[in-house]
Structure 1
Amino acid sequence: MISLLVDRREWFLDLLMQHVAISLISIALAAIIGLTLGIAIAQWRRGAKPVLALVNFVYTIPSIALFGFLIPVTGIGDVTAVVALTVYALLPLVRNTYTGLTTIDPAVIEAARGMGSTDRQLLYRIELPLAAPVIMSGIRNMTTMTIALAGIASFIGAGGLGVAIYRGITTNNLALTLAGSVLIAVLAIVVDLVLGVAEKTTRRHLEPTRHRSTRRGARIAVVIVTSVALLAGATYAVSSFEKGQGAGTINIATKPMTEQYILGEMLNTLIEHDTDLNVELTQGVGGGTANIQPGIEKGDFDLYPEYTGTGWNAVLKHDDTYNESMFNDMQDEYETKMSLTWLGMYGFNNTFGLAVNKDTADRYGLHTYSDLAKVAGELSFGAEPDFYDRQDGYPGLQQAYNMNFGTVLDMDIGLKYQALFEGQVDVITVFTTDGQVADDRLVVLEDDRQFYPSYLCGNVVRMDTINAHPELSDVLLKLQGLISDTDMARMNNEVETKGREPKDVADEFLSERGLI
């Protein structure tokens, strides 16, 4: 892990800056909204219960569900992450502000009014200073929680250190997962310590004759650290926005799969090598097609690698089984309904498969899907969440093979193999180009009724992007038919088993083919 942090320090520093920017913006918004709400309900007590109840209710919504609610409105990326984190950060600040203001000794308030203080003077000169320690405690809790929770933002294509964690999980790289986790923990601890000093300062402020020099030094330290953090975060946020929105920038998204990481790096390298365009690469968007497709239709992304069978069934919502003779019909629908087109078909077919642990295969004599259907009721089945909703997924298997498992589990793509090998699940879905398919502990069963359609991989591109940058077409067509099933499986294995970086594997392949 330490070697990884040293070798890829620039990449981790970039992710750290992203994490700080997303967290700071969320914290600043939550502070403004939370303080305003807390002061308002402290002044208007009848509104306290409904406001606190609403904030409490929103806080109980699972983060993944909240992301799902926001995506149709705010799209994929940093904006959705900031909105979600701001919502979650409101509760401690609203509650602490309200508590701090309502627990002040009434005798103090009465004395201040007796001396002629106006409501405004009472609030700013008496109530807020007295409530400051409690409010500062809320800010401290809110800030630490937001920094930790920001790690999940990578699930919806936002930046931050969660990218390292999620990529480590999907590529079977424990060191990468640990590195991202440790950096988030260290960042949260450091910020908590700094805010702890600020909290103690507010408490000492109520004892004006003690520790004046200490308070002054603490204030200076807090101001310096906070200013540096704000400046760094703001600078990164502005530079990231300008980079992502530039006229010569191509925004590419990939799914959370090893081969998609590799393809994304290929596209990045080749486009920047052959053109004057810049590439903004959003790696491993959680939910895959379900979240990327709305993003590309909205304009958040310009292109992403997709699979023909998925396009036909999951995007266009057709119920019949796809085969490559339908490609022109699919292309027409993409262009007329969504102003998208398929360009640059890589050549490999990454279709679904079902795999079992070798011990399970031997115990039940499993060779085909039909064999599996006979004993499915005794077994547990694991797949990524969207597999259970798509017609070419679990519902289709049930119809085609009368296959009903005793237990079904939602699992991340990157965790399925580990769960199978550890005996936590009996059957999983696999992709035929997965690097771990060659593992001796695993048996891929035969689809004896030819249920699964073709899943040739190609690029889905916005037509207005092609029109604006016609040179992009030439680059994508260089990838036409370039990668075989064997090539893709080998590259995936280099990353998943040998621990190589997707970019290194991608660049090596392009170099071998004479493209760079």
Structure 2
Amino acid sequence: MQTLIQTFITRRGDLLTALWQHLGISIAALVIAMVIAIPLAIWAVRRPKMAEGLLQLTSVLQTIPSLALLGLLIPLVGIGTVPAVIALVIYALLPIFQNTYLGISEIDDSIEEAADAFGMSRMRKLFKVEIPIALPQIISGIRTALVLIIGTATLAALIGAGGLGTFIMLGIDRNNTPLLLIGAISSALLAIVLSALVRWFQTAKPKQALTVFAVIVALLGGGGAYSLYASRTETITIAGKLGSEPEILINMYKELIEASDAHVKVALKPNFGKTTFLFSALKHNQIDIYPEFTGSVLETLVKGNNPKSMTATETYKLAKQRLAKQDDLSLLKPMAYNNTYALAVTKQFKQEHHLKTISDLTQVDSLLKPGMTLEFIDRDDGLKGLKKAYGLDVTAKSMEPALRYEAISKGRINLVDAYSTDSELRQYNLAILKDDKHFFPTYQGAPLMSTNFANKHPQVVKALNKLAGKISETDMQEMNYEVNVKKASAATVAHKYLVTHGLLEGGN
């Protein structure tokens, strides 16, 4: 409990930002869903066949897995808030449409006949009789949709839309229970509070309801107006993938850039998403810079056959050339360390079976119980290609990155994929097996940006090039360990490295 309280105090500023983002996305999605679903349901009341079709359609849309839906939307509208809101609207349509339709269509016929006998017009009967009677059921549908939206909105963090999901994803990635609990509890409390507020609107006096609604709109609108105003001044946006290492790097970028020009404002978006999400955001000008790896560029982001056994220099030159030609992007000079893929086992397992290289695994095929990330299992430069190159006959369980390390420490699995700079290698006393056939490509990190941005900001390029050839694998693993295990902030660790190595003058 003490750790949870301390984490909450330390992260209260980030939590407030995430809460505001989550609230904005959720309210926007709910309002849009209501504007679509309620009029559509009213229109469909007198068209039963059409209503049945619409109910089937909204039901089918709700069965689409959220991650799949987000993946389908990204090529169409990019990443960030827009696809998140669209996905949430789609999920909210069914409960609002269904409850509105049933609430009005199930009104007793005698009440409808009485309204007609009084000579009420269609619209007057709708607003004076049907909607008031159906209102409790409509409100119930809205509350159901709201709870659904708030829960699903946590996935917005995977595509750079922020929100409370950032805490949950970060907690899972770093095996940090307090962060996970803060995100989950805050999401649950937000759902309870907003659900109660919707319920209050049903019973409140019209003037009170309108006043509260106006305040909410003013707050949300004011925040949006301020964001638009702030965006008038140039801000360099730097994003990072999930994990401690990208967050450390983007904090280094921020400090180096701001130290080179006191008039530049840098905004950070840590834990923005996976490789393809960031690449898409960069090409759509939603971010300006993010740290990428030379091997990831060649294996995932650009087209073309890659020669085998390239040196680090050859890998960088080819990645830089293809990015410039295919996407008009600039990959700056890389850092020293090679954060390559690796296979790891416990030191005890290694000693018991006399393992030194990946080739040695063929001698213990029947004993292997691999647990690996889904990305590694599916990549040609991952398990797919590895099995061919080494003649391995293994089937791996797919696991979240942090969970696979926990599983191997508890003996549930005995082989994991790893990055050579992972802090968990030290934390769980694991040993990397030598890639004796040089299968894995070189993965050196370097800032990636558009060529247009690089040409317009030579000072930024010069500042970031200070990291070229710096940071060893030992340095990076130690910094990851400080963040993941010792719970130091990524900003503090980044600043310490820059000052210690003379890349930045000392300070607080």
TM (norm. structure 2) is 0.92
Task: Identify which of 306, 315, 330 aligns with 2:319.
Answer: 330
> Percent of pairs identical after alignment?
34
Instruction: Tell me the residue number matched to 1:277.
Output: 264
Report the secondary structure of 1:403's partner residue: coil
Secondary structure (helix, strand or coil) at the match of 2:272 reads coil
Greater mean deviation of Cα atoms: 3-12 or 25-34: 3-12
| Structure 2: distance between partners of 1:333 and 1:242 | 37
Task: Tell me by how many angstroms 1:238 deviates.
Answer: 3.8
User: Which AA in structure 1 matches 2:271?
Assistant: G
SS of the residue corresponding to residue 444 of structure 1 reads strand
Q: Give the C-alpha shift of residue 337 in structure 1.
A: 1.2
Counterpart residue number, 1:462:
450
CA distance in 2, matches of 1:20, 1:360: 48
Corresponding residue SS for 2:331:
strand
Letter in 2 for 1:277: V
Q: Choose 441-450 or 221-230, whichever is displaced more.
A: 221-230
Matched, 1:156 2:159: yes
Q: Does 1:487 align with 2:475?
A: yes
Match of 1:73 in 2: 76
Verify the 8 A CA contact 2:376 2:382 in the aligned structure 1. yes
Structure 2 residue aligned with 1:381 = 370
Letter in 1 for 2:384: P
- Identify if the C-alpha distance between structure 1 residues 102 and 314 changes in structure 2 by more than 3 Å, giving closer, same or farther: same
CA 1:280/1:384 → structure 2, altered by over 3 Å: closer, same or farther? farther
Could you say which residue in structure 1 is the equivalent of 2:340?
Answer: 351
Quote the residue 1:316 is aligned against: 302
Pick closer, same or farther for the CA change 1:300–1:118 going to 2, 3 Å: same
Secondary structure (helix, strand or coil) at the match of 1:459 reads strand
2:211 and 2:368 map into 1 onto residues whose CA distance is: 59
1:299 shift after superposition: 1.9
* Residue 108 (str. 1) matches residue 111 (str. 2): yes
Partner secondary structure for residue 437 of structure 1: helix
Contact 1:20 1:229 in 2 (8 A): no
Q: Deviations over 1:39-70 (max 9, x none)?
A: 12213222011111110001011111111101
Match in the other structure for 1:125: 128
Change (3 A) 1:447 1:329: closer
- Residue 371 of structure 1, CA deviation: 1.9
Q: Does 1:84 align with 2:73?
A: no
**Aligned counterparts, 1:285-324, within 5 A:** 285-286=272-273, 288-317=274-303, 318-321=305-308, 322-324=310-312
Distance 1:425 1:285 in 2: 29
Instruction: Give the Cα separation in 1 of the matches to 2:222 and 2:333.
Output: 37
Match of 1:345, SS state, is coil
Work out the CA distance in 2 between the residues paired with 1:241 and 1:88.
28
CA-CA distance at 1:114 after TM superposition: 1.7
State how far apart, in whole Å, the 2-side matches of 1:234 and 1:508 are: 40
Residue 45 of structure 2 corresponds to residue 58 of structure 1 = no
Q: Give the Å deviation of 1:315.
A: 1.4
Q: From the superposition, tell whether residues 326 and 498 of structure 1 become closer, same or farther in structure 2 (CA, over 3 Å).
A: closer
Distance 1:265 1:228, change over 3 A: farther
Asked if 1 retains the 8 angstrom alpha-carbon contact of 2:315 and 2:442, the reply is no
Q: Is the 8 A contact 1:302 1:462 kept in 2?
A: yes
Residue 404 (structure 2) aligns with: 416
One-letter amino acid of the counterpart of residue 254, structure 1: G
From 231, 251, 259, the counterpart of 2:218: 231
Q: Which of these residues, 251, 261, 265, is aligned with residue 237 of structure 2?
A: 251
* 1:360-418 deviation digits (Å, cap 9, x = unpaired): 43554433211223434543323332223322111110110112323x23322233211
Q: 1:382-397 residue pairs with structure 2 within 5 A? A: 382-397=371-386
Shift of 1:242: 5.1
Structure 2 letter corresponding to 1:316 = V
- Contact 2:95 / 2:144 at 8 angstroms: preserved in 1? yes
Cross-structure match for 1:189: 192
Aligned residues: 497
Q: Given that residues 330 and 454 in structure 2 are in contact (C-alpha distance below 8 angstroms), is that contact kept between their aligned partners in structure 1?
A: no
Q: Unaligned regions of 5+ residues in structure 1, if any?
A: 202-214
Aligned equivalent of 2:30: 27
Contact in 1 for aligned 2:427/2:485 (Cα 8 Å): no
Report if the CA contact (8 A) 1:21-1:234 is conserved.
no
Name the CA distance, whole Å, in 2 between partners of 1:35 and 1:448.
64
- 2:400 is aligned with what amino acid? D
The 3 A distance-change label for structure 1 pair 297 and 374 is farther
Distance change (3 Å), C-alpha of 1:363 and 1:59:
farther
Q: Is the 8 A contact 1:30 1:90 kept in 2?
A: yes
- Matched to 2:152, the amino acid is L
Of 188-197 and 94-103, more deviation after overlay is shown by: 188-197
Partner of 1:207: none
Q: Post-superposition shift, 1:13?
A: 1.0
Following the alignment from structure 1 to structure 2, what is the Cα–Cα distance between the partners of residues 371 and 151? 43
Q: Which moved more, 1:29-38 or 1:246-255?
A: 246-255
Cα separation, partners in 2 of 1:355 and 1:464, compared to 1, 3 Å: same
Q: Could you give the per-residue CA deviations for residues 266-297 of structure 1, whole angstroms, max 9, x where no partner exists? A: 112322332222223222233x2122112212
- Aligned Cα root-mean-square deviation (Å): 2.0
Q: 1:40 to 1:437 in 2, by over 3 A?
A: same
Code of the aligned partner of 2:76 = V
2:408 match: secondary structure: helix
User: Does the CA-based 8 Å contact 1:21-1:237 persist in structure 2?
Assistant: no
- What is aligned with 1:167? 170
State how far apart, in whole Å, the 2-side matches of 1:376 and 1:34 are: 56
Q: Distance in 1 between matches of 2:327 and 2:106?
A: 57
CA contact (8 A) 1:24 1:230 kept: no
Tell me the equivalent position of 1:205. Answer: none
Q: Structure 2 CA distance, aligned partners of 1:52 and 1:440? A: 51
Greater CA deviation, 412-421 or 149-158?
Answer: 412-421
The amino acid that maps onto 1:278 is K
Point out the more displaced range, 47-56 or 413-422: 413-422
8 Å Cα contact 1:314-1:391 kept in structure 2: no
Change (3 A) 1:379 1:196: farther
Measure how far apart 1:226 and its partner are: 4.1
AA matched with 1:295? A
CA distance in 2, matches of 1:18, 1:502: 22
The TM-score normalised by the length of structure 1 is 0.91
Q: Deviations over 1:187-242 (max 9, x none)?
A: 1111122223334x2xxxxxxxxxxxxx54xx666555544443333333343455
My pick for the range that moved more, 10-19 or 364-373, is: 364-373
Gaps of 5+ in 2: none
Residues 404 and 232 of structure 1: CA distance in aligned 2, closer, same or farther (over 3 Å): farther
Question: Kindly tell me: are residues 424 and 85 of structure 1, through their superposed partners in 2, closer, same or farther at Cα, counting changes over 3 Å?
Answer: farther
Write the mapping of 1:437-452 to structure 2, written as runs, cut at 5 A: 437-452=425-440
CA distance, structure 1, for counterparts of residue 433 and residue 228 of structure 2: 47
